[in-house]
Amino acid sequence: MYIIVGLGNPTKQYDKTRHNAGFQVIDVLGDKLNTEITEKKNKALCGRGIIGGEKVILAKPQTFMNLSGESVRAIADYYKVEPENIIIIYDDVSLAPGQLRVRKKGSAGGHNGIKSIIAHLGTQEFPRIRVGVGEKPKGMDLADYVLGHFSKEESEVMEEAFKQAAEAACLLITDGPDAAMNHFNAKK
């Protein structure tokens, strides 16, 4: 079994902001797997599906971003899933809009949602898919930038990125992290 978690902030005011890129990927996966992400469980909205014969739980934590680890830990404990089978999808300001990076493990890299997950799981050893949202403009506050919305041009690029990130999650499960990294990290 796998858990695929898209990071974001709950409530309408954060819908479709840069920081909610993970939520948008989970929505794409939900459509792909023909499942609704509506079950309230373990501080998250969840859905269920099958990818490559493996059961998967799709999750959108309903804690705020900085507390994402509370929800991820609760889901992992409930389903008895080890960190290496928990895929985290989140926004990254160090990547160009739409660029993806798949990793087997790593540090938080300054992302508060990932810091929280590492603290609650007690390890950095979980796969992740970083979705580039672009660098903040000079002089702009980082929080204002990531809580802002994509421009029309960026939205078109990001829609494709969300589909690609969903594909990357599927490939992580069916073919393993090396195959997903080789396929998606090479793309610009």
Domains observed in the chain:
2-184 (3.40.50.1470)
| DSSP for 88-127, written as a single string | EEEEETTS-TT-EEEESS---TT-HHHHHHHHHHT-S-S-
Q: Measured in whole angstroms, how far is the alpha carbon of residue 187 from the centre of its chain?
A: 18
Question: Apex CA 154: angle with CA 148 and CA 156, to 5°?
Answer: 125
- Pairing mode, strands 100-103 and 86-92: unpaired
> What is the strand order of the sheet 86-92 is part of?
39-41, 44-51, 54-61, 2-6, 86-92, 128-132, 100-103
pLDDT band at 45 (very low <50, low <70, confident <90, very high): very high
pLDDT score of 188 more than 70? no
Active site residue 19: yes
Structure tokens at 85: 């089978």
Question: Rounded mean pLDDT of 4-16?
Answer: 95
Q: What's the pTM?
A: 0.96
What H or E segment, with its residue span, contains residue 177? Answer: helix 177-184
pLDDT score of 34 more than 90? yes
Render pLDDT for 105-117 as a digit per residue (tens, 0 to 9). 999 988 999 999 9
pLDDT band at 127 (very low <50, low <70, confident <90, very high): very high
Q: Cα separation of 171 and 51, whole Å?
A: 9
Contact 22/131 with Cβ under 8 angstroms? yes
Q: Cα separation of 176 and 88, whole Å?
A: 15
pLDDT score of 135 more than 60? yes
Pick from 114, 102, 125: which is nearest to 172 by CA?
A: 102
* pLDDT of 24: 97
Q: Cα separation of 92 and 103, whole Å?
A: 13
pLDDT score of 42 more than 90? yes
Catalytic residue among 19, 111, 120, 149: 19
**Average pLDDT, rounded, for the chain:** 95
The single residue listed with the structure tokens 């985290």 is 88
